[in-house]
Structure 1
Amino acid sequence: MINSNTFSNFNSKYPIYADLHTHSISSGHGSEDTITDMIRCASESGLSLFGISDHGPATSSSAKPSYFQSLKLADRDRFGIRVLYGAELNIINTAGDVDLDDDTLSTLDYAIISIHPPIFKPYHDKDLSSAYIRAMDHPKVRFLGHIDDARFPVDFEYLLEIAKEKHVYPEINNGSLMPDAYRINGQENCRRILSICKKLDLPVLLSSDSHGKKSIGNMQYIFPLLEELDFPAHLVLNSDLSALSDIIR
C-alpha cells in the first residue's frame, strides 16, 4: 500500500497496491527516468505491483517495436515488488487499429488503448466509441485509457457496456483531474464514467499516468470523486491484487 508519507493522498477506504499506467524515458516526452529508476521508486512508495506502459511507436519520439519485444526478457521481480511490462497503445484510425502488431502484443503482460493527438485531430470525429470497441479485440488489451477527454468524444454508456462484455476496464486517470490538465472536461466526464461503472458493477483502474518517477502511485485528485460518488471499494482494481492479477492473466 502507498506509504502515507509519500503523497498526501493516502485513503484507507481505497488502498493503492498497484499502478499500471506509467511511462519511462522510452516514451520520449517528459519522461527522463529509466525503468530501473521507476521500479525503485515504486518499491520505495510501498506498491506491491508496478507496471511500465510506455507509449506505442506512433507517439512521436517513443520506442520502436523492438523495445516492446525485448521486454519479455526483463525481470519480473525487482526491489521487492512484482513488475509488469505493457504498452499504452495508440488507436491509429476509426477501424480500431493500434500501433503494435499482435505478435508483439502477445509478448506483453497487458495493454492500455488510448487516443492521442495528432493521430486524431481534436473534435474531428463526433463519436469515437466504435474505434475503442474495435481496438478492444486486440490481444492483451485490458484497459481503456483516459476516455474522459472531451476532445475525443465517446458514448460512455454504450462504450462501457461493451467493455464489460469484453472484460476490458476503464481507467480513471489522475492526470485528467489535475488543475493544469490539458485534457478537456476531465472532472465532469470522470464523474460520469464512475457513475456508469457503479451502475454496471464494472471495476475501474486508477492510474497515475506518471511520466517519469515523480508521480508514481499518486491518485490524489481521484479520491475526492470516489468519495463524492460513494464509489464501491470492491470496484477499485488497485485495491484488489487478486482480481487485477486475474485480469492480466
Structure 2
Amino acid sequence: MNIELDTHTHTVASLHAYSTITENAAEAARKNLKLICMTDHGPLLPGGPHEYFFGNMRVLPKEIHGVRILKGIEANIKNTDGDLDLPKYLENRMEIVLVGLHEGVLMPGTKKENTRAVVKAMKKEFVDILVHPGNPAYELDYDDVFKAAKDTNTFIEINNSSFLGSRKGSKDNCRMIAEKCRDYKLPISLGSDAHYSTYVGEFSVVTKLLEEIQLPEELILNTSVDKLLNYLKNKGKNI
C-alpha cells in the first residue's frame, strides 16, 4: 500500500508532544511522505496551545524539507451539542480540521450523549475528519456515526496510535469500524497521531489490518495527496 501523507501529527505546541514541526517534516521526508497535517490539540485540552497559536499559522512555510505542511487543528468536542474549542474567527483559516472526544475536556457520557456530541460536531461544514472513534472510553452508536459521516462527507479516522497503547482496548473497535467502512464504502483517513517525530507516517499496524480485511485502497485518503487536496478544495478550504 502506497501511503503519501499523514493527516494527524502533533508538535511541542501540544505540551505532551516532544518534536517540532521541522523535526516532524524531516522524518516525513525520510519516509518519503509528500504531506503532513500539523494538527495540535485545541486550547481547552490541558497543555493545548492558545488560540493565537492557530491564528498565527500563516507564518509557516508551505513546505519544510520538501514536505507540504497543512495547517490544522485537532479540535476538542466540548459538549453534547458538538461545540468545539475552535474560535469562530478561526474556522475558515484552518486548512484541515480534525475533531475528537478527549477526557481532559468532555468526560464520557452515555452512548446517546457521546453519539450526539460526535454527530453534531460532524455536521459543522468546516469539519473534515473524526479522530479515534474506536476509543472504548466513549461508547458510540456506530450506525448513527457512519450515517452522519456519509451525510456530511466527513472522514472516519483509523488511528495507528490507538493500537500502540494510547487508548487501551481500541483494537477490536477499530477493526469493526474499518470493516463497516469497507462494507458501507465509507472513506477513511489514517492518522499516526504522532507525539514524537519517529512516529510520523507510522501506519504498520493499521495497514496490516486493512490488508487483512481487504479494504479497497480507493477508500483510503492517505494514498494520494491530490485526493486530500481536492477534497479540501471542494469543501471551500483556502489551500
Q: Which residue of 1 aligns with 2:152?
A: 166
Contact 2:125 2:152 in 1 (8 A): no
Q: Is the 8 A contact 2:82 2:120 kept in 1?
A: yes
Taking the aligned partners of 2:217 and 2:140, their CA distance within structure 1 comes to 26
**Given that residues 190 and 220 in structure 2 are in contact (C-alpha distance below 8 angstroms), is that contact kept between their aligned partners in structure 1?**
yes
Give 1:94-173 correspondences, 5 Å limit.
Answer: 94-122=80-108, 124-127=109-112, 128-173=114-159
Q: Could you tell me how far apart the structure 2 residues matched to 1:182 and 1:41 are?
A: 21
1:214 and 2:198 matched:
yes
Indicate yes or no: 2:46 matched with 1:77. Answer: no
Does 2:11 align with 1:27?
no
Equivalent pair of 1:142/1:247 in contact (CA under 8 Å): no
Deviation of the 1:159 alpha carbon: 0.6
**Structure 2 contact 159–192 (Cα < 8 Å) conserved:** yes
Contact 2:76 2:101 in 1 (8 A): yes
Alignment correspondent of 1:7? none
Q: How far apart are the structure 1 equivalents of 2:126 and 2:83?
A: 14
Task: Report the CA distance between 1:65 and its aligned residue.
Answer: 0.3
TM-score normalised by length of structure 2: 0.93
Could you tell me how far 1:139 is from its partner in structure 2?
4.3
| Pairwise CA distance, 1:184 | 3.8
Partner of 1:232: 216
CA distance in 2 between partners of 1:229 and 1:182 (Å): 23
* Matched letter for residue 225 of structure 2: L
Q: Distance in 1 between matches of 2:142 and 2:213?
A: 17
Q: Which residue of 1 aligns with 2:3?
A: 16
Point out where structure 1 has 5 or more consecutive residues left out of the alignment. Answer: 1-13
Identity %: 30
Q: Given that residues 111 and 141 in structure 2 are in contact (C-alpha distance below 8 angstroms), is that contact kept between their aligned partners in structure 1?
A: no
1:161 to partner: Cα distance? 1.5
Task: Return the alpha-carbon distance in structure 1 between the equivalents of residues 39 and 86 of structure 2.
Answer: 13
Q: Does 1:192 align with 2:176?
A: yes
Do 1:172 and 1:206's aligned partners in 2 also have CA atoms closer than 8 Å?
yes
1:29-68 matches, within 5 Å, as 29=16, 31-68=17-54
TM-score by length of 1: 0.89
How far apart are residue 120 of structure 1 and its match?
A: 2.5
Instruction: Kindly state the Cα deviation for residue 77 of structure 1 after the two structures are TM-superposed.
Output: 1.9
Counterpart in the other structure of 2:75: 89
Unaligned stretches of 5+ in structure 2? Answer: 234-239
CA deviation vs aligned residue, 1:97-150 (integer Å, no higher than 9, x gap): 10012221211101110101132324x323311111111233431000100011
**Contact 2:37–2:96 (Cα < 8 Å) also in 1:** no
Q: Could you tell me whether the CA contact under 8 Å between 2:122 and 2:148 is conserved in 1?
A: no
Amino acid in the other structure paired with 1:242: D
Contact 1:49 1:83 in 2 (8 A): yes
1:3 corresponding residue in structure 2: none
Which range moved further: 153-162 or 140-149? 153-162
User: Of 205, 213, 221, which residue of structure 1 is paired with 2:189?
Assistant: 205
Deviation digits for residues 205-245 of structure 1 (CA, Å, limit 9, x no counterpart): 11110002120000011122112211111111111222211
* Aligned residues of 2:97 and 2:129 also touching (Cα < 8 A): yes
The size of the alignment, in residue pairs, is: 232
Bigger mean CA offset, 99-108 vs 61-70 = 99-108
* More displaced stretch, 222-231 vs 92-101: 222-231
Q: Aligned partners of 1:132, 1:76: CA distance in 2, in Å?
A: 31
